Amino acid sequence: MFFDKNLHIWLPSYVVRRIRKTFWKQRWPIHVLFCVVDHYEPMWGGADRAAETARVSAWVERYPMITRGHRDHDGVPPRHTFFYPEEEYRPEHLEALAGLCRRGFGEVEIHLHHDNDTGPVLRKNLKDFKARLIQHGHLSKDRTTGEHRYGFIHGNWALDNSHPEGRWCGVNDEITILKETGCYADFTLPSSPGEAQTKKINSIYYATDDPRRPNSHNTGTDVRVGGRESGDLMIIQGPLTLDWRRRKIENGEIEYHNPPTPERVRLWVEEAVHVRGRPEWVAVKVHTHGTVEANMDFFLGPRFEQILSHLEDRYNDGQNYRLHYVSARELYNIIKAAEDGRDGDPGAYRDYRLISGLTGPI
Write out pLDDT tens, residues 116-170.
999 999 999 999 999 999 999 999 999 999 999 999 999 999 999 999 999 999 9
Reply yes or no on whether the pLDDT at 360 is more than 70. no
Assign residue 258 the CATH number of its domain.
Answer: 3.20.20
Residues 6-19: what's their mean pLDDT? 90
pLDDT in tens, 65-120: 999 999 999 999 999 999 999 999 999 999 999 999 999 999 999 999 999 999 99
Within a domain: residue 1? no
What is the reported pLDDT for 6? 81
Instruction: Determine, yes or no, domain membership for 2.
Output: no
Mean pLDDT within 2-8: 76
Give me the pLDDT at residue 228, please. 95
Would residue 362 count as lying in a domain?
A: no
Enclosing domain of residue 311: 7-356
Contact 139, 150 (CB under 8 A): yes
Are 186 and 172 spatial neighbours (Cβ–Cβ below 8 Å)? no
Provide the pLDDT for residue 1: 52
- How many helices (H) and strands (E) are present in the chain, helices listed first? 9, 15
Classify 213 as helix, strand or coil.
coil
Q: What is the average pLDDT across 218-235?
A: 97
| Environment class of 39 (CB within 10 Å of its CB; exposed 0-12, middle 13-18, buried 19+) | buried
**Domain assignment of residue 133, yes or no:** yes
The predicted model gives 238-267 an average pLDDT of: 95
Percentage of residues in the chain with pLDDT exceeding 70?
A: 98
Q: Please compute Rg for the chain using Cα positions.
A: 19
Domain assignment of residue 214, yes or no: yes
Residue 198 lies in a domain: yes
pLDDT in tens, 317-341: 999 999 999 999 999 999 999 999 9
Number of structural domains the chain divides into:
1
SS3 content of the chain, % helix, strand, coil (to 5): 35, 20, 45
Counting residues of the chain whose pLDDT is more than 90, the rounded percentage is 91
pLDDT at 359: 61
